[in-house]
Amino acid sequence: MAIFGSGVHPKDCKSLSSGVPIGRMADPQKVWVPLSQHIGKPAIPVVSAGERVLRGQLIAKKAEGISANIYSPIAGTVQGVVGHITASGKKRDHILIENDFTDEGIDLPVREEWTQEQLLARIEEAGIVGMGGAGFPTAIKFDVKGKADVLVVNGAECEPYITCDDRIMIEYGSELMQGVRYCMQACGAKYAVIGIEKNKPEAISAITALAGKGIRVCRLRTRYPQGAEKQLVYGCTGRVIPEGKLPVEAGVVVANVHTVLSVYRAVALGKPCYERVMTVSGKGVREPANLWVKNGTPLREIAKLCGADEGSARIVCGGPMMGEAVFSLKVCTAKTTSSLLFLDATECEEKSASACIGCGKCVQACPMGLSPTFIEEALFRKDYAEAKRYGASACIGCGCCSYVCPAKRFLTQSVRLAKKIIAERKV
């Protein structure tokens, strides 16, 4: 097992929800399904107001280029395409559907034997995107034209609190294995490595017991960001993805555990991607849970179900290291929303930046080998070439530098900004 240097070791806090079996949340009265649940262009609505839709019916078609199909998570009546806020605080188009509670559904056709092309077509058709959080359309990622020989499945789940992948590996082990085989066939990989952090012994033993020919389980050191693409590939295969290149350059395709499960559901059961498992956790939640949640469910419904304290110090969509703090529980879930955290004041600090004391902890912590403090300094001087020399363009935004900073400086944001400016101005 190769280990990447540096990184940080935040308290994992996973025990809050890691023992809770995956439940299913009752369908909400109304869903606002975002048209943009993935990287790339928003999908184009194919339904209009007043139309009745079934669960699993296509409601928005993928646009040209990078995009993904969107399916109705419930049976009901389309109220129209409305503007609604997203977790990042922007107003975006959502399809509003009112539930009629008949739960009438349609599935995609299923066949016994699949060819590689058919599998890729199904993955594309089912609107599957990277469900670890990135939201990159999986069909495009898998279409590597034989240039990859390894499929790395990301079961690291290095973000604190989140346990949905852990529970999926424990409860849906055999489905997952079948999904891994479909994925291997789709991307033409010869073997698969499932990387799991050592702090999930139950998942490791469950998956190891099921791993068949060509599938290997790799126990990874518990270290954030072990689940970041480059670090994961290095940990599982010892291969290094060249800077600024995709994993396929190193002959690797990476897929999240939940993505693999979605592939299984789409291929074997004909269920398109319209729901996911979410972790609801944090000290502000009375009953932390892992739940199947329909896409487009307002966060308030989830908060009510789990007895969450709406007055929590901070409410976060995603993990505490990279997730976004939401300012309204009206925000709705998407394919990529892996968790909803209600953090109390002891779990997240309100910080104000003070002078850099030059301790160099950010330099030691950066898993990419950058020098965040010098990048920030260069950014403030508007010396973008210097920021680039210190490696700003290679930032993966993991947040380790801000995490360790004793002066509580906003290093991650500075480096991200420097990276953005460098890209825009082609420094």
The footprint of another protein on residues 329-358 (CB under 8 A) is 329-330, 341, 343, 347-351, 354-358
Q: Token digits for 270?
A: 């004909």
Q: Is 11 in the site for another protein (CB under 8 A)?
A: yes
Interatomic CA distance for residues 138 and 123, integer angstroms? 7
Query: What is the pattern of x (binds another protein, CB under 8 A) and - over residues 257-296?
Result: ----------------------------------------
* Shortest reach from residue 401's CB to another protein, in Å: 9
CA distances from 49 to 30, 98, 209, 263, 411 (A): 14, 11, 50, 31, 46
Q: Is 29 in the site for another protein (CB under 8 A)?
A: no
Q: Which stretch binds another protein (CB under 8 A): 137-145, 212-220, 265-273, 319-327?
A: 319-327
3-class secondary-structure state, position 401: helix
Task: Report the sign of the C-alpha dihedral through residues 103, 74, 165, 150, in that order.
Answer: positive
Of the residues 171, 188, 374, 421, which one makes contact with another protein according to CB under 8 A: 374
Quick one: angle between helices 116-125 and 173-187, nearest 10? 110
How would you classify the pairing of strands 58-61 and 44-45? antiparallel
Interatomic CA distance for residues 396 and 382, integer angstroms? 21
Interatomic CA distance for residues 277 and 77, integer angstroms? 25
Query: What is the pattern of x (binds another protein, CB under 8 A) and - over residues 65-94?
Result: ------------------x-x---x-x---
* Shortest reach from residue 404's CB to another protein, in Å: 5
Of the residues 68, 120, 220, 326, which one makes contact with another protein according to CB under 8 A: 326
Q: Is 324 in the site for another protein (CB under 8 A)?
A: yes
* Shortest reach from residue 313's CB to another protein, in Å: 7
Query: What is the pattern of x (binds another protein, CB under 8 A) and - over residues 214-253?
Result: ----------------xx--x-----xxxx-x--------
Contacts of residue 123, Cβ cutoff 8 Å, sequence gap at least 6: 138, 139, 142, 186, 263, 266, 267
Q: Which stretch binds another protein (CB under 8 A): 179-187, 209-217, 288-296, 311-319?
A: 311-319
Query: What is the pattern of x (binds another protein, CB under 8 A) and - over residues 388-427?
Result: -xxx--x----xx-xxxxxxx-x-xx--------------
Q: Is 202 in the site for another protein (CB under 8 A)?
A: no
Are 110 and 63 in contact by the 8 Å Cβ rule? The answer is no
Q: 106 vs 356, which CB is nearer to another protein?
A: 356
3-class secondary-structure state, position 148: coil
